[in-house]
Amino acid sequence: MTDLSSQSARSHLNRRNRHQTMIKGFGMAAIGFAALMLFILVSSLVSSGYKAFTQTHVTVEVFVDPAEIKPERLPRGGFDDVLLASLKTYFPEVSGRADEKALEGIFSNGAQFTLRDRIVADPSLIGQSITITVPTSDPFDQLAKDLVKRDTPEAQRRVSDREIGWFDTLDKAGAISEPLNWGLISNTDSRFPELAGLKGALMGSFWALLVCFVISFPLGIGAAIYLEEFAPRNRLSDFIEVNINNLAAVPSVVFGLLALAVFIGWMGMPRSAPLVGGMTLALMTLPTIIIATRAALKAVPPSIREAALGVGASKHQVVFGHVLPLAMPGILTGTIIGLAQALGETAPLLLIGMNAFITSAPDSPLDSATALPTQIFIWADSPERGFVSRTSAAILVLLTFLITMNAIAIYLRSKFERKW
User: What is the rounded radius of gyration, in angstroms, for the C-alpha atoms of the chain?
Assistant: 31
- Minimum distance from residue 286 beta carbon to another protein (Å): 6
- Minimum distance from residue 12 beta carbon to another protein (Å): 11
Q: Is 350 in the site for another protein (CB under 8 A)?
A: yes
> Binder to another protein among 174, 268, 312, 383 (CB under 8 A)?
268
> Binder to another protein among 59, 109, 190, 252 (CB under 8 A)?
252
Q: Is 9 in the site for another protein (CB under 8 A)?
A: no
Residue whose CB is less far from another protein, 381 or 417: 381
Per-residue contact string for residues 39-68; x = within reach of another protein by CB under 8 A: -xx--xx--x--------------------
- Minimum distance from residue 60 beta carbon to another protein (Å): 35
Residue ranges in 279-298 that form contacts with another protein under rule CB under 8 A: 283, 286-287, 290
> Binder to another protein among 54, 190, 382, 406 (CB under 8 A)?
406
Residue whose CB is less far from another protein, 304 or 399: 399
Q: Quick one: which segment of 79-87, 90-98, 198-206, 377-385 binds another protein (CB under 8 A)?
A: 377-385
> Binder to another protein among 183, 353, 362, 365 (CB under 8 A)?
353
- Minimum distance from residue 383 beta carbon to another protein (Å): 13
Strand partners, 135: 57
> Binder to another protein among 391, 393, 397, 412 (CB under 8 A)?
391
Q: How many CB atoms lie within 10 A of CB 207?
A: 23
- Minimum distance from residue 415 beta carbon to another protein (Å): 18
Spatial CB neighbours of 402, under 8 Å, sequence gap ≥ 6: 340, 343, 344
Residue ranges in 128-167 that form contacts with another protein under rule CB under 8 A: none
Contact (Cβ atoms closer than 8 angstroms) between residue 79 and residue 116:
yes
Residue whose CB is less far from another protein, 48 or 112: 48
Per-residue contact string for residues 20-39; x = within reach of another protein by CB under 8 A: x-xxx-xxxxxx-xxx-xx-
Per-residue contact string for residues 187-226; x = within reach of another protein by CB under 8 A: -------------------------------xxxxxx-xx
> Binder to another protein among 133, 169, 243, 404 (CB under 8 A)?
243
- Minimum distance from residue 245 beta carbon to another protein (Å): 6
- Minimum distance from residue 226 beta carbon to another protein (Å): 4
> Binder to another protein among 344, 366, 382, 408 (CB under 8 A)?
344
- Minimum distance from residue 33 beta carbon to another protein (Å): 6
